[in-house]
Structure 1
Amino acid sequence: MQNLVHYLRRQKKLLALLILTMLWLSLFPAWVHRVTAKPLDDAITLSPSGTINREIEVAIPEHYEINLVFERASLPFQELKTLLGDWAYRDGQPIPSGVRVPVRWSLKKLHDGSIAASGENDTFGAIAWSAAEVDRKVGGFRVKPGRYLFNAQVLHDVPALAHIGTRLSINLPSKASSTWQMTLVWWGSIASYIVVWPAAAVIAMFLILQAGRNFFSARAART
């Protein structure tokens, strides 16, 4: 036991560094999850026209996007493209395509009910496609962090899209960022994989090997 205590005292700098790396690897992902979590991702009906009223939390003063998210399910691509459209441009302006979905939304401060952001958009086209979903832009906002009341409503029935599962989502942009929080998310994630994880593994392996060597040396000395 004395040998172990002596060994730990001699390796206190490496132990402190190992503790710091483990704290980073446990706390940083939790912080990233909180910062990047979607404030809203709720189902909404298009026919009959649906409404969402939800209290949400805005974690950082970044620009947030509001999108309609359509589920692809097993629908043929060409049918989806006809119904949802694409995002082509002419003379720098998006060309309307697909079945339009008119959406009005607002973001109100909880403490006084004043409007922090709002918009109305006769949405069309699709800005992103994945294997499971198709996104359509509704709007966006940038406000101070805090809790807000978010309201959105489809202004009239859209029966042509009634058979497609639809959600209304508020999320951070996938590429652009303008706050130190998102910069830290990006570079911190890279550092975790390239620097912190390898450093923690090397330090832990070194300490284990040194502890084993000291144990067998002490055992050999006693015999």
Structure 2
Amino acid sequence: MQEAAGTAGAGAPPVVRETVQQLVDRAAALASGGRRLLGITGGPGAGKSTVCAALVAALGERVALVGMDGFHYANQELLRLGRRDRKGAPDTFDVDGYVALLQRLRTPPDRTVYGPVFDRDLEEAIGSAVPVPPDTPLVLTEGNYLLVQGHGWDAVRPCLDEIWYLDVLPEVRARRLLRRRLSHGHERRAAEDWVQTVDVPNGEVVEASREHADLVVHLDVPELSAEEELPG
């Protein structure tokens, strides 16, 4: 397996304030030297999906997005394990499956590799939904736990060339998370309870992994401010 180029562990990561376009330029430069894997991480509601969507839109066929959330355990399995009420916690994912896919993607085979995707409306993963052709120079992956130690997550870091941590104030993330759950049809009280009892503790776990990133990013995107306000 190709040696990862990341520098995590070599000291405190650099902290930058950048626009989405600047991050696009960084990603394009990373992809200019052959197959590379880039991780985007941060707490729940940090803007990972927004950044990844912008990178995919800008880079087109040069990038494929394989998210960590596609490796959620199925709801039926979470019920069997007694973990359904905290879906999204570090021990509610098929980490070994995720690592195995990343390892396959590091050295491109001569055929398309397929990854899963997580459907937020169904609250379930859909397998073989994301094709990654062998000539795709940049594989993008995003998720909360790319830098977390424990539960097998420490095996993720060596698979990735760089990991960028999106740093956002906890109160801003909480507002975004509540908006997200309401937008998917959850009742307000249940949504508020989920954010406080599941998302907030998970965010604290993720925040503790920040120092292992290659780059800490404060996203300079003023147009997102309206999305941070709660609906009436």
TM-score normalised by the chain length of structure 2: 0.23
Flag the structure with higher strand content: 1
**Which of 1 and 2 has greater Rg?**
1
Looking at both structures, which has the greater relative contact order when contacts are Cα pairs under 8 Å and sequence separation is at least 6? 2
Flag the structure with higher helix content: 2
TM-score normalised by the chain length of structure 1: 0.24
